[in-house]
């Protein structure tokens, strides 16, 4: 029986990258609600190139006592009273997302997930706070390491703003669709794969 590991396991020192975007009720992870959460799994094709894979997303019910700044709702366009939201609890949403992340870690023989985000500290702190509130003990993401496409874009493209970085990478971006967790996560995933494949080539 072969014991060789998938090449992905060597690409990021055993880390499996997953692009995450959250839309929230404010900027404080301890007090403000997560309203939307989306995660894009990253795959590796037969040529060793990274490509965006499945998107797992949930609208999230604000936790009890959560702060929601009206300005945040105006900025994101989220309507909490919409019958189409079909929101789930933080526990249900994160448990489902984490299940898919663990499956990706196993598929590619990696050791742990690493959150990728545009200004990743924001998404990581909110995800971490929600996992602690939900009592989820097996958070698959590294507790403090993350990969930030804002930083990578600044170094490789000279711009840290998502829309400008996407334009420089020739990736379509519609401002009317922006600030949806799914749309922003999928655009960020495309940018991450572009930066790794085209700008940060890897040789063993």
Give me the active site residues, please.
179
| C-alpha to C-alpha distance for 38 and 125, rounded to whole angstroms | 15
C-alpha 131: how far from chain center: 15
| C-alpha to C-alpha distance for 40 and 126, rounded to whole angstroms | 17
Residues 6+ apart with CB under 8 A from 65: none
DSSP secondary structure of 114-158: EEEETTHHHHHHHHHHHHHHHT-----EEEEEEEEHHHHHHHHHS
Residues 6+ apart with CB under 8 A from 81: none
| Angle formed at CA 54 by CA 50 and CA 59, multiple of 5 degrees | 130
Q: Please provide residue 57's backbone torsions phi and psi, each rounded to the nearest 5 degrees.
A: -145, 150
Pairing type for strands 34-44 and 50-59 reads: antiparallel
């Amino acid at each position: 029986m072969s014991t060789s590991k998938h090449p992905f396991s060597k690409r990021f020192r055993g880390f499996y990258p997953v692009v995450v975007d959250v839309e929230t009720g404010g900027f404080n992870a301890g007090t403000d609600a997560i309203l939307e959460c989306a995660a894009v799994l990253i795959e590796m094709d037969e040529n060793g190139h990274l490509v965006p894979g499945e998107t797992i997303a949930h609208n999230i019910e604000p936790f009890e006592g959560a702060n929601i700044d009206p300005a945040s709702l105006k900025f994101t366009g989220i309507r909490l009273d919409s019958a189409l939201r079909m929101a789930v609890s933080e526990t249900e949403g994160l448990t489902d997302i984490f299940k898919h992340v663990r499956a990706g870690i196993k598929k590619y023989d990696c050791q742990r997930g690493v959150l990728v985000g545009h200004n990743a500290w924001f998404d990581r702190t909110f995800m971490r706070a929600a996992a602690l509130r939900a009592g989820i003990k097996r958070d698959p993401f590294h507790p403090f390491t993350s990969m930030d496409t804002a930083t990578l874009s600044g170094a490789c493209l000279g711009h840290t703003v998502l829309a400008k970085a996407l334009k420089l990478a020739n990736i379509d971006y519609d401002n009317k669709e922006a600030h949806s967790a799914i749309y922003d996560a999928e655009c960020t995933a495309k940018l991450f794969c572009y930066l790794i494949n085209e700008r940060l080539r890897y040789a063993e």
